[in-house]
């Protein structure tokens, strides 16, 4: 059985400012760095063998802290990037027009072909996230990888593992530096292949975490 840990990056300055990040970037806040250290303390006894991260700055910062605790190198994986939010990247949520807000909401309310102009659809992000996860099956036997990604991207991955459409209504909360785990197994009681063991665990955190939609 292959166990894969999934971690969302720590809190960023744009998370606090309620600015849409997508594949743009902003640095971790002091709280975000502390969250990453708390994840590191939680997983360092789990024999993590690979720390694989989105190549965006906020995930790389989170990964460096976790990898140091686990004694691993950081492996960059662009397929783990956040959903591209198109023309709305860098915008504050409070500044969106009604039409722009409808584009953003189409990504989380089940709209079949929801997309922000010049951005990605949920089907596109889930496909590349699933490919990055499947690549873990090529790691040496006995590996225990930890993947670091983003809120919307991770939700899309977990939902598709559960058999939900990539564009299904978003009903899974993954806070900053939450930990999820998915396993690849052949079980007499569960569907063979990927199964969800845990999702959105924040019991290792010692402070309230933001709950934002922009990832």
The verdict on whether residue 101 carries a ligand-binding annotation is: no
The reply to whether 12 sits in an annotated binding site is yes
Beta pairing partners, 7 = 148, 179
Please check if 124 is assigned to a binding site.
Answer: no
Q: Is 142 annotated as a binding residue?
A: no
Asked whether residue 85 is marked as a ligand-binding residue, the answer is yes
- CB count within 10 Å of CB 74 equals 18
Give the number of other CB atoms < 10 A from CB of residue 21: 26
Helices (H), 71-121: 98-105
Confirm or deny that 14 is annotated as ligand binding: yes
49 is an annotated ligand-binding site residue? no
Considering 77, 82, 120, 212, which one is annotated as catalytic? 82
Annotated binding-site residue? 190: no
- Show the tokens assigned to 4: 């894969």
The residue count of the chain comes to: 215
**Is 82 part of the annotated catalytic residue set?**
yes
8 A C-beta contact, residue 5 and residue 48? yes
Does the annotation count 9 as an active-site position?
A: yes
* Residue 157: count of CB within 10 angstroms of its CB: 26
The annotation places the binding site for substrate at 8-15, 21-22, 58, 60, 82-85, 151-152
- Tell me which residues are annotated as active site: 9, 82
The annotation places the binding site at 8-15, 21-22, 58, 60, 82-85, 151-152
């Amino acid at each position: 059985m292959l166990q894969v840990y999934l971690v969302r990056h720590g809190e960023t300055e744009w998370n606090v400012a309620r600015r849409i990040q997508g594949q743009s970037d902003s640095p971790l806040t002091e709280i975000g760095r502390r969250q990453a250290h708390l994840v590191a303390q939680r997983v360092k006894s789990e024999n993590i063998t690979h720390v694989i991260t989105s190549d965006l700055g906020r995930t790389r910062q989170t990964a460096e802290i976790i990898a140091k605790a686990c004694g691993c190198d950081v492996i960059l994986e662009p397929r783990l990037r956040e959903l591209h939010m198109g023309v709305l990247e860098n915008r504050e949520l409070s500044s969106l027009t009604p039409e722009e807000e409808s584009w953003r909401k189409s990504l989380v309310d089940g709209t079949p072909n929801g997309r922000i102009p010049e951005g990605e659809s949920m089907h596109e992000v889930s496909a590349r996230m699933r490919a990055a996860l499947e690549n873990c099956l090529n790691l040496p036997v006995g590996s225990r990888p930890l993947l670091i990604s983003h809120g919307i991207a991770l939700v899309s991955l977990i939902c598709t593992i559960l058999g939900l459409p990539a564009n299904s209504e978003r009903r899974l909360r993954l806070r900053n530096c939450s930990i999820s785990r998915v396993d690849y197994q052949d079980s007499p009681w569960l569907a063979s292949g990927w199964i969800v063991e845990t999702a959105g665990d924040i019991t290792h955190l010692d402070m309230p975490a933001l709950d934002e939609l922009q990832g």
